[in-house]
Amino acid sequence: MEPDMQRDKQEAVDVISWVSVCPGGLWRVQQKLTHESTQQSSPSTEDDTSCLPNNCPKLGSLCRVRVQLKALTNDADGSTKGNEKLDVTVTELVPTPIVRRQDAPLQVLLGDWIVLRLGEGQCDITEACLEGMRAGEKCEIQLTPVGNGQDSSVHHTSNEDLPLVATVELQAFTPGKESWEMSPAERWEWIKSHKERGGGRFRSGDVWGAADSYGRALKLLIPLCGLAGELEDGSLLEETQQLPSFDQLKMKKAELHSNLSLCQLKLNQPQRARDSAAQATQLEPCAFKAWYRLGQACQKLNELDEAKEAFKKLLELQPDLPAAVKALKEITSREKERNVELGLRLSKMFS
């Protein structure tokens, strides 16, 4: 998710908009948060502070939430059918299993109460809404697809159904932490989880989701590498004893940048792919996959000299690699065509 926050204060209504990642692509989300209470939050743990009025869910919070399409509501103000009073024991919340679908931007079972762990990115739109809500509040969201350069068939919702309008209700949640409040060991566990989830999504064809997971992992890993790099004499502080070494963290960072580059290539984002691959090669000069992806990205951008250098470096690491040999031949052919075209232009200028 890349928030593009735009806030308006009008009659005590917060309007926030951002672009959210879904399996089929990107969606523009507009959220209206009125701070209206649904009067359904009744946590049975009196000493739990997570549901105090000024608190919102944080990373790792288990959130009991319900999402409904506005079409399913029974009146203009969005009040839902079956507005039953629910009794929740906050400490007993268990995450609801969710299978991401290519054709569903909301990713949740509509109309039912479910439990999400904030920060996992399983339901990106819903999670982003929850970050600014308090227990017992409801908000309204409007969703429209964003052009992303992919085949238009990724949006399976018919045009007649767009934009989608839904309500999100947060009943209760458990305490969580901001990333800076976590110990290095806790951040490392989140990083490993995001990387593993990214790999699973990529293999299932959810390239947008994979890129999102790798991006989340990098956001947590970058400051962790900075902490490890400040340690003197290569020794570990007591609080980082459970972490890999600084060199191992750098390799993991390079791997994440390389994986992200692959996703960006498949999403037709060659400039971003080039930048990600370049980061990976700087961190790990022997990362042959990153050199290959750098060459591919530069080739797409018609940066032939840079592409040639990347593939030559790749051949130093993997001699006679067929893909690199083929790429260099293609670049040489394109260079000849470019030189011929340039020669013709020059001859016309001086003739």
Question: If pLDDT is split at 50, 70 and 90, which confidence band does 47 have?
Answer: very low
Give residues with Cβ within 8 angstroms of 197, minimum separation 6: 120, 121, 213
What single string gives the DSSP state of each residue in 152-180?
A: GGG--S-GGG-SEEEEEEEEEE---B-GG
How far apart CA 218 and CA 201 sit, in angstroms, is 17
Interatomic CA distance for residues 23 and 106, integer angstroms: 10
Which among 43-57, 117-131, 279-293, 331-345 has the top mean pLDDT?
Answer: 279-293
Residue 112 pLDDT class (50, 70, 90 cuts): very high
User: Residue 235: is its pLDDT beyond 60?
Assistant: no
Name the residue type at position 57. Answer: P
At residue 205 the predicted structure's pLDDT band, cuts being 50, 70 and 90, is: very high
Q: Beta partners for 167? A: 68, 140
Tens of pLDDT, residues 142-192: 999 987 544 433 444 444 567 889 999 999 999 999 999 998 999 999 999
What does the pLDDT read at residue 42?
A: 44
Mean pLDDT, residues 27-39 taken together:
77
Supply the pLDDT for residue 11. 47
Looking at residue 269, what DSSP letter applies?
-
For residue 37, name the pLDDT band (cuts at 50, 70, 90).
low
Contact 258, 283 (CB under 8 A): no
The values of phi and psi at residue 185, to 5°, are: -65, -40
> Mean pLDDT lowest for which of 1-5, 220-224, 236-240, 243-247?
1-5
Q: Which of 12-16, 229-233, 273-277 has the lowest mean pLDDT?
A: 229-233
The number of angstroms, rounded, from the C-alpha of 177 to the middle of its chain's C-alpha atoms is 19
3-state secondary structure 245-266: CHHHHHHHHHHHHHHHHHHHHH
Residues 167/68, Cβ–Cβ less than 8 Å: yes
Its CATH architecture, for the domain 180-342, is Alpha Horseshoe (1.25)
Average pLDDT of the segment spanning 129-133: 91
Q: How confident is the model at residue 36 (pLDDT cuts 50, 70, 90)?
A: low
Q: What is the CA radius of gyration of the chain?
A: 25
- Among candidate residues 99, 118, 19, 32, the one with its CA nearest the CA of residue 70: 32
**Predicted local distance difference test score (pLDDT) of residue 113:** 95
The confidence band for 77, taking pLDDT boundaries of 50, 70 and 90, is: very low
Q: Average pLDDT for residues 127-155, to the nearest whole number?
A: 78
Token pair belonging to 101:
């679908």
Query: What mean pLDDT is reported for the chain?
Result: 82
Give pLDDT, residue 87.
Answer: 54
Are 121 and 212 within 8 A, CB to CB? Answer: yes
Is it the case that residue 49 has pLDDT exceeding 80? no
| CA–CA distance, 315 with 110 (Å, rounded to integer) | 52
Q: What angle do CA 87, 91, 95 make, to 5 degrees?
A: 90
Asked if 144 and 28 touch (Cβ cutoff 8 Å), the reply is: yes
120 pLDDT exceeds 70?
A: yes
Q: What pTM does this model have?
A: 0.82
Burial of 241 (0-12, 13-18, 19+ CB in 10 A): exposed
Distances (CA, A) of 191 to 30, 67, 142, 174, 321: 29, 28, 31, 21, 32
pLDDT at position 239 is 55
All structural domains of the chain with their residue ranges: 8-176, 180-342
